[in-house]
Structure 1
Amino acid sequence: MSEMAVKRSPDAARPADTLTMTLFHAALRRDLERARFLLENPHWLSPRRARSLGRMLLWNMGELRRHHEGEDHFLWPLLLERSPESSDLLDAMEDEHQAIDEPLADLEAAARGLVAARNGPQEVLAALDVLEGPLRAHLEHEEADGMDIATRVLTHQEWKEFEQRAWAAGYTPLEALRFLAWICDGVDWNPSVLRRTRMPVPFWRVMAGPLSSIAAVPGASVWAGTPAARIRSRLTPR
């Protein structure tokens, strides 16, 4: 990027705002809570809904893998370069990812079994129980400490460039639209969050309504008509 372009960009002059990270984490927690409700209340699970739930969990875990790989390959090395004194914390972030890998794979295996009717909801619930502890602890650690480093040492322009390289570049336009609709599902767009997005209110109204329908938000049919649909995203304050 040229020096003139940097001067013109307001994002080059302000600290990184990691709202997208917060939105992703909140959407993942939301879907795992919704899945847990259905797994603990299997009378809501018709054979068709059970298969859809299995596919949804596989999609969730695929997105989590993409998310972690982007951090491991792009974000942690960048933060280490800018903040060498944070090496212990960044090593801990990678170690936590590795600790999650096995229970994540076990949940994927149980979800595939649910899709193929080889196992029932109890096996999936057992795998979810094992994954959720280390996963939630990692998300909280990353939000509290990992993102604090990013805010201190990166500009928002650099953060957006990281997101593009690590995550967005791997999506087709339709996949990107569906992902955006997914992370926006169930979010309380209060004034403080809207200010951080720097996008006009009508955009989010469209995302929450007709655009979400067109994009076919992943999982929408899984939760529809059940109390799980009322579980919303809860954003961690920063």
Structure 2
Amino acid sequence: MTSSNTSDSTVHPYTREMAMIHQVFRRESRLLAELVQEVRPADTARSRILAEHWRLYSIGLHAHHTGEDEVLWPVLLPHLDLDAEQVLAMEAQHRGLDEGIAEVQRHMDRWQPRALPEDRDELAEALRRHHRQLCAHLDEEEREVMPLVALHVGEEQWRAVGERGLAETPRNRLMIALGAILEDSSPEERQEFLARLPVPARMLWKVVGRRRYRRETDRIRGRRTTA
């Protein structure tokens, strides 16, 4: 049960963007397992590319979860009573995901230098386990916790969560991050998300961002293409 002290006049946060960000991690964790499994034995050029992509992915996922733990949950928890268990479960799942990420990293470190097929297969399986664990967590968070956020977290507090994520993203990766969010978005989501950005950011995306993201994904995915 939640408390009912939220005013009807509260401007609710745009929580849909959280699902859009989650979709990035769902897609990239799935693709990493598939792309690693496709690497030919001893193709260390590909193993280096995918190891670097994994490094950036895992840093991004860790920053995302740390932002929730340190910025979002402390704002949300004071408004909850029995539903606080849902938020505490999210924190526990974050710790479990950290363990899975560490396991993948161990396999990645063994596979990357020589790209041996037996190491590749073990790594791909660890990545598939990570993907399943992550998707179960994200599904539960969107189903159980995001409605609580929409009800109890104000627009300004929600904006602070986004600013934390922005600060954690290197400036030279901002257009890549934007492209990753927009890739699987519906036309309506894409339009609304871009409308919330400053005008210079929207112009930069149109002028250079789209091409930069396409080059990045072509390099990582090889012959696979980006929609």
Is TM more than 0.5 here?
Answer: yes
Kindly indicate whether the alpha-carbon contact (under 8 Å) linking 1:181 and 1:217 is maintained by their aligned counterparts in 2.
no
CA distance in 2, matches of 1:27, 1:45: 29
Unaligned 5+ segments in structure 2 are: 1-8
1:69-99 alpha-carbon deviations (Å, 9 max, x no partner): 1111111111102334421111111111111
1:175 alignment partner in structure 2: 173
2:84 alignment partner in structure 1: 87
CA distance in 2, matches of 1:143, 1:205: 31
* 1:117 and 2:114 matched: yes
> Aligned pair in 2 of structure 1 residues 68, 224: CA closer, same or farther (>3 Å)?
same
> Aligned pair in 2 of structure 1 residues 19, 205: CA closer, same or farther (>3 Å)?
farther
Partner SS, residue 167 of structure 2:
helix
2:71 alignment partner in structure 1: 74
* 1:50 and 2:41 matched: no
Partner SS, residue 160 of structure 2:
helix
For residue 182 of structure 1, what is the amino acid of its counterpart? A
* 1:17 and 2:18 matched: no
> Aligned pair in 2 of structure 1 residues 192, 30: CA closer, same or farther (>3 Å)?
closer
Kindly indicate whether the alpha-carbon contact (under 8 Å) linking 2:97 and 2:130 is maintained by their aligned counterparts in 1.
yes
> Aligned pair in 2 of structure 1 residues 174, 196: CA closer, same or farther (>3 Å)?
closer
CA distance in 2, matches of 1:208, 1:149: 35
1:134 alignment partner in structure 2: 133
2:4 alignment partner in structure 1: none
Unaligned 5+ segments in structure 1 are: 1-11, 233-238
Bigger relative contact order, structure 1 or 2 (CA pairs below 8 A, ≥6 apart): 1
Q: TM-score, normalised by structure 2?
A: 0.80
Partner SS, residue 167 of structure 1:
helix
Shift of 1:32: 1.9
Shift of 1:210: 3.1
Aligned pair count reads 215
Report % sequence identity.
19
Q: 126-135 or 58-67, which moves further after superposition?
A: 126-135
* 1:213 and 2:211 matched: yes
Kindly indicate whether the alpha-carbon contact (under 8 Å) linking 1:179 and 1:217 is maintained by their aligned counterparts in 2.
no
1:222 alignment partner in structure 2: 220
CA distance in 2, matches of 1:43, 1:123: 14
> How does 1:33-48 map onto structure 2 within 5 Å?
33-43=30-40, 46-48=43-45
2:3 alignment partner in structure 1: none
CA distance in 1, matches of 2:162, 2:222: 31
1:159 alignment partner in structure 2: 158
